[in-house]
Structure 1
Amino acid sequence: MTLKEVKELLEAEIITGTEYLEREVKTAFACDLMSDVLAFVDDKTLLLTGLVNSHTIRTAEMMDISAVVFVRGKKPDEDTIRLAEENEIAIMSTPHIMYVSSGILYSKGLKGAQIVHK
């Protein structure tokens, strides 16, 4: 699924990263605890979260996540946007809650990220 399809399905606003809309995502991971994000390893994963701060972008950077969708209509501050731009991470904001956002994407074939058990 491309980020453009994600945008359309979630009725999302692109905050930054319009130039990345043709990027493909193969899985999604939804959470507000960034420590949980560190528990999985998957290529081309989309992160859905309600945590709107630079820590989210730093975590996405560490895990090579190329796009973040903020749920519940949340929008990041300018510093967070700037950090995403520096790291070539697309940011979207959807009016849907996390559960609904996840369900929409799952129903259209986007699978959940795999947890790595150590």
Structure 2
Amino acid sequence: MKLSKVIEILNAELYSSFADLDMTFQYGKASDLLSDVLRFPAENSLLLTGLMNLQVVRTAEMLDIKGIVFVRDKKPSQEIIDLANQTGIVLMGTRFNLYKSCGLLYQYGLMD
């Protein structure tokens, strides 16, 4: 699924300064526990989470996760945005909760 489609479906706000709207994600991962994310790594994934700290970006970097969506209208700090920009990870935010965000993306073809 293209980044532009993810933004459209989730009515997401893009926080990254470098985003390529044609980049694609094959899988979606959702968790507020980074230990769960580490158990099931998948390249070319989009991580959906309500967790808001630098470790989310570090974990995504380690697992080659290309994008992070912060749910429940949470806004990342400038420090988180800067780290994501440095590591090439796209950051977005949506007002939808985790359940609804996952359901919408799954409905439009993002695999789990």
What band does the TM-score fall into relative to the shorter chain?
A: over 0.9
Matched residues in 1 for 2:29 and 2:39: separation?
Answer: 11
Mapping of residues 20-99 of structure 1, within 5 Å? 20-99=20-99
Matched residues in 2 for 1:101 and 1:87: separation?
Answer: 24
Matched residues in 2 for 1:104 and 1:22: separation?
Answer: 19
Q: CA-atom RMSD, angstroms?
A: 0.9
Q: 1:68 to 1:17 in 2, by over 3 A?
A: farther
How far 1:19 moved relative to its partner? 2.6
How far 1:49 moved relative to its partner? 0.1
Structure-1 residue corresponding to 2:12:
12
Which 5+ residue runs of structure 2 have no aligned equivalent? Answer: none
Q: Secondary structure at the match of 1:84?
A: helix
Q: Give, as a single letter, the amino acid of the residue that structure 1 aligns with 2:66.
A: S
Identify which range, 37-46 or 87-96, moves more after superposition.
37-46
Matched residues in 1 for 2:31 and 2:17: separation?
Answer: 21
Matched residues in 2 for 1:10 and 1:20: separation?
Answer: 17
Q: Give, as a single letter, the amino acid of the residue that structure 2 aligns with 1:79.
A: E
Q: TM-score, normalised by structure 2?
A: 0.96
Q: How many residues get paired? A: 112
Instruction: Verify: 1:2 aligned to 2:2, yes or no.
Output: yes
Q: Secondary structure at the match of 2:109?
A: coil
Q: Give, as a single letter, the amino acid of the residue that structure 1 aligns with 2:9.
A: L
Which 5+ residue runs of structure 1 have no aligned equivalent? Answer: 113-118
Q: Secondary structure at the match of 1:111?
A: coil
Q: TM-score, normalised by structure 1?
A: 0.91
How far 1:20 moved relative to its partner? 2.3
Structure-2 residue corresponding to 1:115:
none
Percent identity of paired positions between Structure 1 and Structure 2: 45
Q: Give, as a single letter, the amino acid of the residue that structure 2 aligns with 1:10.
A: L
